[in-house]
């Protein structure tokens, strides 16, 4: 008999597709925004206006998860959607991998170790989310079709890890989500007390374990009357499989799912709008200070071009030097997403002109684009610059400068 797709799975698939096309790197944004807020609070550099956009997004996603559960993972995250797709393809492969329940329980703790590693190494010691080791970043890069012209990122550690995750996801459903995702680890802790868990009338189930066998996250549902596990991603595969309707969601999942997704999307775009406003203000402030630093004269007059490596590929700029000072920087081309790039452009370029140096802070939440611009300017001016985006040699020669 041909299996019919249930309404909730249709809604879920449509939302996953829209999210994949419109916000493919949202999980990276949420995670790095969480990190930068924490770092700024610990380092006493937190300024509400600078972080308002990130705060709206992070608090919104966390609150939705606390109230409704992990709709972010089940419906929005493109890394999760990629794994769903891979697992669907993996079903065509005759070879299967079954992780025993006990082993699965312990392997799931790995993601908390990954979270601790990132919190200490990346957030604590400011090791950047370089493509050298982050599979998320490589995935983010290749969600842009332009980036496929160069497959070099698959040769980084992040690329190799991504390939391993892809292979794992063919055989184990939500392989990365279950065992490795640091954001999933945070969500797992937050969603334990959610208001709308899944209910199961276990006294009527006997020895049936059908819902357990269908659970995307391998939760041993047969043990529970109520699914309070933080692993649940609200995919609703368990509720649709039981013909006797002994397991069900508290609310209509299609409605609560759509509501949760709408709240997150609304906060994301509200955050972006807030960021754009505050970036424009800081850009004006920087522009005002440019005039004050024009006496120094450290570069040779002329117009120079340079290239740097951004998030999805190269960034090209033209730098104009007048009276020994950088007077203008124009972006000739870039491959990064508009929303990230324009934030980096509005923050970094005025700061470089103002300080007459590429030694300026990257824009929070647009670090890769910022580094690409800084590297391109340094390349044009022949200044030494090590791009944290990629430690590999890129052959930048010093030219036209003194
Ligand atoms: S666990 Fe991580 S990768 Fe999986 S869906 Fe959630 S945020 Fe995305
Ligand atoms: S318990 Fe049900 S809704 Fe939750 S992850 Fe498992 S199958 Fe999906």
CB-ligand 1 contact for 90 (6 Å cutoff): no
Q: Give the pLDDT of residue 122.
A: 65
Q: Which two tokens stand for residue 111?
A: 């993601």
Percent of residues in the chain assigned helix, strand, coil, to nearest 5: 60, 10, 35
Are the C-beta atoms of 40 and 46 separated by less than 8 Å? yes
Q: Give the pLDDT of residue 164.
A: 95
CB-ligand 1 contact for 235 (6 Å cutoff): no
Q: Which ligand is nearest to the CA of 233?
A: 2
Q: Quick one: which of 59, 61, 60 has its CA closest to 37?
A: 59
Q: Which two tokens stand for residue 82?
A: 């990629």
Residues with Cβ within 8 Å of residue 295, at least 6 apart in sequence: none
d(CA 76, CA 171): 22
d(CA 205, CA 224): 11
Q: Give the pLDDT of residue 26.
A: 85
Name the CA radius of gyration of the chain, rounded. Answer: 24
Burial 225-239 (b: 16+ CB within 10 A, else e): eebebbbbbbbbbbb
In three-state secondary structure terms, 147 is helix
Give the residue ranges of DSSP H helices in 144-291: 157-171, 175-179, 182-190, 210-214, 237-241, 253-290
In three-state secondary structure terms, 22 is helix
Q: Give the pLDDT of residue 115.
A: 92
CB-ligand 1 contact for 183 (6 Å cutoff): yes
Q: Give the pLDDT of residue 282.
A: 55
The mean pLDDT value for 173-182 works out to 96
Q: Quick one: which of 193, 210, 218 has its CA closest to 247?
A: 210
Are the C-beta atoms of 172 and 102 separated by less than 8 Å? no
Does the structure show a pLDDT above 90 at 74? Answer: yes
Ligand 1 centre distance from Cα of residue 349 (Å): 34
Ligand 1 atom closest to Cα of residue 30? 7
199, 236, 254: residue to mutate for ligand 2 pocket, most atoms within 8 A of CB: 236
CB-ligand 2 contact for 218 (6 Å cutoff): no
Please return the burial class of 62, using the count of CB atoms within 10 Å of its CB with bins 0-12, 13-18 and 19+.
Answer: middle
Does the structure show a pLDDT above 60 at 168? Answer: yes
Ligand 1 centre distance from Cα of residue 211 (Å): 21
| 236 φψ region: left (φ > 0), alpha (ψ -120 to 50), beta (else) | left
Q: Give the pLDDT of residue 38.
A: 83
CB-ligand 2 contact for 215 (6 Å cutoff): yes
Farthest-apart Cα atoms in the chain, separation: 85
Instruction: Give the model confidence (pLDDT) of 342-359 as tens digits.
Output: 778 878 888 888 888 888
> 71: part of which helix (H) or strand (E)?
helix 71-71
CB-ligand 2 contact for 8 (6 Å cutoff): no
d(CA 352, CA 381): 12
Identify which of 63-67, 198-202, 295-299 has the greatest average pLDDT: 63-67
Pairing of strands 302-309, 226-227: unpaired
8, 68, 197, 217: residue to mutate for ligand 2 pocket, most atoms within 8 A of CB: 217
CB-ligand 2 contact for 227 (6 Å cutoff): yes
Give the residue ranges of DSSP H helices in 358-398: 367-381
Ligand 1 centre distance from Cα of residue 75 (Å): 10
Residue labelled with tokens 């906060």: 267
In three-state secondary structure terms, 326 is strand
The mean pLDDT value for 246-251 works out to 79
Tell me where in the chain the CATH 3.90.1010.20 domain(s) lie: 296-402
Prediction pTM value: 0.73
d(CA 34, CA 81): 22
CB-ligand 1 contact for 319 (6 Å cutoff): no
Average of per-residue pLDDT values in the chain: 81
Nearest CA to ligand 2 atom 1: 232
Return the higher-pLDDT residue of 78 and 149. 78
Give the architecture (CATH level 2) of 296-402: Alpha-Beta Complex (3.90)
CB-ligand 2 contact for 319 (6 Å cutoff): no
Task: Count other Cβ atoms within 10 Å, centred on residue 337.
Answer: 20
């Amino acid at each position: 008999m041909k299996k019919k797709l249930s309404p909730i799975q249709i809604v879920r698939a449509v939302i996953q597709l829209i999210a994949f096309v419109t916000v493919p790197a949202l999980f990276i944004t949420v995670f790095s925004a969480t990190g930068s807020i924490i770092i700024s609070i610990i380092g006493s550099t937190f300024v509400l206006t600078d972080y308002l956009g990130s705060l709206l997004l992070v608090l919104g996603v966390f609150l939705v998860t606390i109230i409704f559960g992990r709709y972010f993972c089940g419906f929005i995250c493109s890394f999760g959607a990629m794994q769903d797709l891979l697992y669907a393809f993996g079903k065509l492969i005759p070879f299967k991998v079954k992780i025993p329940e006990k082993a699965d329980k312990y392997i799931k703790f790995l993601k908390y170790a990954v979270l601790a590693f990132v919190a200490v190494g990346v957030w604590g010691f400011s090791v950047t989310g370089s493509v050298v080791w982050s599979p998320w970043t490589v995935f983010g890069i290749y969600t842009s079709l332009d980036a496929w012209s160069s497959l070099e990122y698959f040769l980084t550690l992040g690329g190799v890890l991504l390939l391993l995750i892809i292979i794992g996801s063919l055989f184990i459903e939500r392989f990365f989500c279950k065992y490795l995702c640091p954001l999933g680890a945070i969500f797992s802790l937050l969603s334990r007390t959610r208001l709308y868990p899944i209910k199961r009338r276990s006294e009527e189930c006997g020895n049936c374990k059908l819902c357990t066998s269908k659970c995307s996250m391998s939760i041993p549902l047969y043990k529970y009357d109520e699914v309070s596990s933080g692993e649940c991603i609200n995919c609703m595969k368990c509720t649709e499989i039981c013909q006797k309707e002994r397991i069900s969601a508290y609310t209509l999942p299609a409605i609560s799912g759509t509501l949760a997704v709408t709240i997150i999307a609304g906060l994301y775009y509200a955050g972006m709008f807030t960021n754009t406003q505050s970036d424009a203000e800081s850009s004006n402030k920087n522009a005002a200070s440019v005039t004050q630093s024009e006496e120094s004269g450290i570069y040779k007059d002329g117009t120079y071009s340079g290239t740097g490596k951004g998030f999805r590929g190269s960034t090209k700029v033209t730098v104009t030097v007048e009276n020994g000072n950088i007077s203008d920087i124009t972006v000739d081309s870039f491959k990064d997403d508009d929303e990230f790039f324009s934030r980096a452009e509005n923050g970094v370029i005025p700061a470089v002109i103002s300080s007459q140096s590429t030694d300026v802070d990257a824009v929070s939440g647009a670090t890769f684009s910022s580094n690409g611009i800084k590297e391109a300017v340094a390349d044009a001016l022949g200044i030494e610059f090590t791009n944290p985006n990629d430690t590999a040699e890129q052959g930048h020669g010093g030219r036209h400068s003194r």
